[in-house]
Amino acid sequence: MTTSQERIIPTDLSNEMSRSYLEYAMSVIVGRALPDARDGLKPVHRRILYAMYELGLTPDRPFRKCARVVGEVLGKYHPHGDTAVYDALVRMAQDFSMRNPLINGHGNFGSIDNDPPAAMRYTECRLQALATDSLLRDIEAETVDFADNFDGSQQEPIVLPARIPQLLINGSSGIAVGMATNIPPHNLGEVIEGAIALIHNPEITDLDLMQYIKGPDFPTGGQIIGRAGIKEAYTTGRGSITMRGVADIETLQQRGRADKEAIIITQLPYQTNKASLIEKIADLVNDKRIDGISDIRDESDRTGMRVVIELKRDAYPRVVLNNLYKQTAVQANFGANMLALVNNDPQLLTIRRFLEVFLEFRVEAITRRTQYQLRKAEERDHLLQGLLIALENIDAIIGLIRGAADTATAKNELVESYGLSNTQADAILQMQLRRLTALEAEKIQAEHEDLQTQISDLNDILARKERIEEIIESELTTIKNVHATPRRTEIVQGEGELLDKDLIANEQSVILITEQGYIKRMPVSTFEAQSRATRGKAAAKMKENDGVEHFMTCCDHDTVMFFSDRGVVYSFYAYQIPATSRTARGIPLIQMLPISQAEKVTSLIAVSEFTEDEYLVMLTRKGNIKKTALSAFANIRSNGLIAISLQEEDELRWVRLATEEDSVIIGTRKGKAIHFKTNRQQLRPLGRSTKGVKSMKLRGDDELISMDIIPSQIVATIAETEEEEVEEDNNEELVAEETDLGPWLLAITSNGYGKRVPISKFRLQNRAGMGVRAIKFKTDDDCLVGIDIVNPEDELMIVTNRGIMIRQAVKAISLQSRNATGVRVQRLDKDDAIAAVAPVPPLEEDELEAEVGEGEEV
């Protein structure tokens, strides 16, 4: 007998620890924490799905208790805790955890508030159709290898024969030893389109694949801010993707009390706990780290999520929302770490490499399936050939069998006499007598011919890779047609990101703001030019007691500057305003600008470039005017910039672009106009925080209604001499100089009348004068609503209080004297009135050429 001392094996402690820890680490990496890049599953998920498949829990079969499934997995394949298995099963059934759930759960499977699922003895489950169609189909066709389970009593697949890039579609996360993975879920349809694109073009790059796979598509929806993180993750395997919940600013109607502004959260970033988020917001309000919130409540129900954050009356909704983004999980980062097992080796994969590994595996699976089908077809055909030989010699074979002493003797004689194999001889001996009929013989012959065709086709598939790729594409397309759903997560432009601008056409647009603060953008092409005095088209669906307040035309690449009555300016690109149809209401302006209900936008201006030689001319309600360099507004902060210092009870109303040599013309409601230069003698440049100087003297209750700039080349032609104001008849006497080529001053009244007047009829004056008459009115209730400087080729957009919009050529409006009453430019409905007028911006030359077809005239 050996002594205990002899059984002791001396070993180096450091080497033993290193070896043992390495074995443990590899076991965790390969056997627990990291998914396989081929089927996208970790071992526990693969074992759950396979155990359910063996139990027959297909989508067309009844539900079974989850405890039964967990017991099957534990007893056969996964010797770990039942909690780990049940947690993995539950996650595969949660529609807020998996973009495309693989298990159909029946019962309480938890919630987005992190409520735990019911115990496994209460819940039931079965496979989803996607799991059987895309992961488990063909598993019995020798498409994948099987290995012994933990005790050698069972065989389990080492990978499932996935027909889709499951790892990208549902994502995965896990922490191993010294490494971790965090792969976001994607849209099934987009991923399949990317895989098909790689089949068609094996040289396609990661960036090219982003044309098909736009970015992650999270089950909870939300938004992804910017594409930089997506690009980094797809091209390097690692990247930080900014996720943001969907939050709208709405006005809550309250009975007996004034309306209140509220932030409504309807979608949250992926893996965000709603209950914890609400608790966090409440703590921040109590700690006074977020101001402006008066109440918060969860109104979510089975129809969807709705978290209502009521705001105080003096709060700035956009500022509060930005604070929520900054300090809470309403905005979070997804740290993408695209690590997966490739041949049991942990590798960091790019988006192209993910699809390459999948397609390589799919080629192997289809090859093995085809070989299996070929073998089965050849074996069956071999039997049929033996049966056909027997049918041809049926009488002799029957005699042979009857004369044989036993089965073995009959079998040997069949083999020796007719050259049959043992398998064929057994099949003949087992053949039933009913198969000797003529009909059965025909069936055997037909099946033999079908098998010959099938064998030829299967050999062709094995011989040509392009046939295999066609099969892969066909299977992918079928799954896409059945299981693809629209994208849930919206990808929006990040701050400072120029990608969107480069991809968006610089088209002409109409921007419209209503009195109740809704903003919308529409293509100018929505409104074809109409004849003078027609009604026009509806440009917006108005709420009751709402009307058009501001109206502007621009190009989509322009920077739109919003000036408020408080003298503050905000800005963003025109294309960032959501484009809508004619009849849409638009979105609340407070969703885009950090302004409160008490602050109103009073002027819009579109700027294509912030040049040094241009100025902003600003005019207030009380008549103060000032000129400030446009370059001073090149960098407007997200919370705005002071544009003008205002006196008490004064408001900023009009802002226009001008140069040093231009002149300005200002109109009043009672039809007066004053014209003076914008040079240093009349209007010297001032800084942003100045008040300005007096622009015009007003009589009685008259008030300013509009301002426009006259270009310098036109100013040079106007004589600076005093001119007598001539009274004319009440008849609208036309100006004699019909050869006047413009530009002209266009005057439009609230009752729908308008005219063009030569600029030369408005003499240059000194600032702060009384002005001259610009128009006469047909009725006492009429008034001037707008003056604009227009050119012969211009077109106008005119909009009424009720949102009826008309587009017409300037030349369609008559040329008349200053004292004429004008002609009808738009037919108005009862109780409607003209609200605003704006010229259509000219197309750039390259866009104009693209718009005009061959043989057409511009």
* DSSP state string for 629-695: EGGGGSS--TT-EE-----TT--EEEEEEE-TT-EEEEEETTSEEEEEE-STTTS-B--TT---EE-
Give the integer Cα–Cα distance in Å for 45 and 33: 11
Phi, psi of 97 (to 5 degrees): -105, -40
Residues of the chain with CATH 2.120.10.90: 504-844
Give the integer Cα–Cα distance in Å for 640 and 443: 84
* Eight-state DSSP code of residue 156: E
- Nearest alpha-carbon partner for 632 in 604, 602, 603, 610: 610
Active site residue 122: yes
CATH class given for the domain over 504-844: mainly beta
Give the integer Cα–Cα distance in Å for 663 and 599: 30
Residue carrying the six token digits 């155990």: 51
Q: Which long-range contacts (CB under 8 A, 24 or more apart) does 698-703 make?
A: 698/623, 698/668, 699/670, 699/672, 699/770, 702/668, 702/669, 702/670, 702/672, 703/621, 703/668, 703/669
- Both structure tokens of 308: 């209502």
Q: How many beta carbons lie within 10 A of that of residue 702, not counting itself?
A: 16
Residue 822 · residue 857 · CB < 8 Å: no
What pLDDT was estimated at residue 723? 45
b/e sequence 764-784, b meaning 16+ C-beta within 10 Å:
bbebeeebbbbbbbeeeebbb
Q: How many beta carbons lie within 10 A of that of residue 16, not counting itself?
A: 10
Residue 693 · residue 619 · CB < 8 Å: no
Return the CATH fold of 41-161.
Answer: Topoisomerase II; domain 5 (3.90.199)
pTM greater than the 0.75 cutoff: no
9: left (phi over 0), alpha (psi -120 to 50) or beta: beta
3-state DSSP assignment of residue 713: helix
3-state DSSP assignment of residue 627: strand
- Both structure tokens of 32: 């627990």
What pLDDT was estimated at residue 732? 43
Residues of the chain with CATH 3.90.199.10: 41-161, 163-240+333-375+428-503
Residues of the chain with CATH 3.30.1360.40: 246-329
Give the integer Cα–Cα distance in Å for 363 and 366: 5
Helices (H), 419-554: 422-430, 438-463, 465-483, 499-503
- Both structure tokens of 782: 């009429």
CA atoms within 13 A on the CB side of 814: 17
- Nearest alpha-carbon partner for 654 in 621, 607, 692, 608: 621
Cα-only R_g, the chain = 39
What pLDDT was estimated at residue 33? 81
What pLDDT was estimated at residue 858? 28
For 205-264, the DSSP string reads -HHHHTTT--S---TT--EEE-SHHHHHHHHHSEEEEEEE-EEEEEEEP-TTS--EEEEE
Strand (E) or helix (H) holding 172 = strand 172-175
| Architecture (CATH level 2) of domain 246-329 | 2-Layer Sandwich (3.30)
> Longest C-alpha distance within the chain, in Å?
140
Q: How many residues does the chain have?
A: 858
User: How far is residue 455 from each of residues 43, 247, 376, 382, 590, measured CA to CA in Å?
Assistant: 36, 60, 10, 12, 69
Q: How many beta carbons lie within 10 A of that of residue 532, not counting itself?
A: 17
Q: Which superfamily does CATH assign the domain made up of 163-240+333-375+428-503 to? A: Topoisomerase II, domain 5 (3.90.199.10)
C-alpha dihedral sign at 539, 542, 545, 551? negative
Residue ranges in the chain whose pLDDT is less than 70:
1-6, 256, 495-503, 526-548, 716-740, 841-858
Residue 207 · residue 235 · CB < 8 Å: yes
**Cβ-based neighbours of 454, under 8 Å, separated by 6 or more:** 373, 377
- The residue annotated as part of the active site, out of 50, 122, 212, 573, is 122
b/e sequence 562-583, b meaning 16+ C-beta within 10 Å:
bbbbbbbbbbbbbbbbeebebe
